[in-house]
A = this chain, B = another copy of it.
Amino acid sequence: MAALITGLRTSDVRFPTSRELDGSDAMNPDPDYSAAHVVVETDADDGLTGHGFAFTIGRGNDVQVAAIRALESAVVGRPLEAVLDDLGAVWRELVHDSQLRWLGPEKGVVHMAIGAVGNALWDLKAKRAGKPLWQLLAELSPEQIVELVDFRYLSDALTPEEALDLLRRAEPRRAERVAELLRDGYPAYTTSPGWLGYSDAKLRRLCRAAVDQGFDLLKLKVGADLDDDVRRLRIAREAVGPDVRIAVDANQRWDVPTAISWIRELAPFDLWWVEEPTSPDDVLGHAAIASAIAPVRVATGEHVANRVVFKQLLQAGAVSVLQLDATRVAGVNENLAILLLAAKFGVPVCPHAGGVGLCELVQHLAMFDFVAVSGSTEGRVIEHVDHLHEHFVDPVVVRDGRYLAPRRPGFSAQLRPEALRDHSYPDGRVWAGG
Residues on A facing B (Cβ under 8 Å) = 27-32, 56-60, 62-64, 66-67, 70, 97-112, 151-156, 252, 255-258, 278-285, 288, 303, 305-306, 308-309, 311-312, 315-316
Which secondary structure characterizes the binding site on chain A?
loop
Decide: A98 and B282 in contact? CB cutoff 8 A. no
Chain B, Cβ-Cβ closest to A328: B102
Is there an interface contact between A109 and B153, defined as CB atoms closer than 8 Å? no
Copies in the complex: 2
Task: Collect the chain B residues with CB atoms within 8 Å of residue A32's CB.
Answer: 99
Instruction: Assess the A281–B308 pair: CB atoms within 8 A.
Output: yes
Chain B residues whose CB sits within 8 angstroms of the CB of A60 once the complex forms: 67, 70, 99-100, 102-103, 110
Q: List 18 A-B contacts (CB under 8 A).
A: A27-B98, A31-B98, A56-B99, A56-B103, A60-B102, A60-B110, A62-B66, A62-B70, A107-B281, A107-B305, A155-B257, A156-B285, A281-B306, A281-B309, A282-B311, A283-B312, A284-B315, A285-B312
User: Are B59 and A97 within 8 A (Cβ)?
Assistant: yes
Q: Which of B70, B109, B111, B255 contacts A156 (CB 8 A)?
A: B255
Instruction: Give the contacting residue for A308; candidates B28, B98, B258, B282; CB below 8 A.
Output: B282
* A255 neighbours in B (Cβ, 8 Å): 151-156
Give the docked Cα–Cα distance between A56 and B153 (Å). Answer: 23
Give the docked Cα–Cα distance between A154 and B281 (Å). Answer: 12
B-side contacts of A56, CB under 8 Å: 99, 102-103
Return the contact of A252 from the options B66, B105, B108, B155 (Cβ within 8 A).
Answer: B105
Are B99's CB and A103's CB within 8 A? Answer: no
State how many angstroms separate the Cβ of A364 from the closest Cβ of chain B.
23
The answer on a CB contact under 8 Å between A110 and B63 is yes
Not counting A59-B97, A62-B66, a sample of 7 additional A-B residue pairs whose C-beta atoms are within 8 angstroms of each other reads: A28-B102, A56-B99, A58-B99, A60-B70, A60-B102, A106-B279, A107-B281
- Quick check: A29 and B98 within 8 Å, CB to CB? yes
Closest Cβ neighbor of A73 among chain B residues? B59
B256 with A67: CB separation less than 8 A: no
Q: Within 8 Å CB of A98, what residues of B?
A: 27-31, 57
Task: State A249–B239 Cα separation when bound (angstroms).
Answer: 59
Instruction: Provide the residues of chain B in CB contact with A110, threshold 8 Å.
Output: 60, 63, 108-109
Q: Do B100 and A59 touch across chains, with their CB atoms under 8 A apart?
A: yes
Contacts A155-B257, A309-B281; A59 near B70 (Cβ below 8 A): yes
Contact indicator B67/A63 (Cβ below 8 Å): yes
A389 to B306, CA, bound (A): 35
* A315 contact set on B, CB distance < 8 A: 284
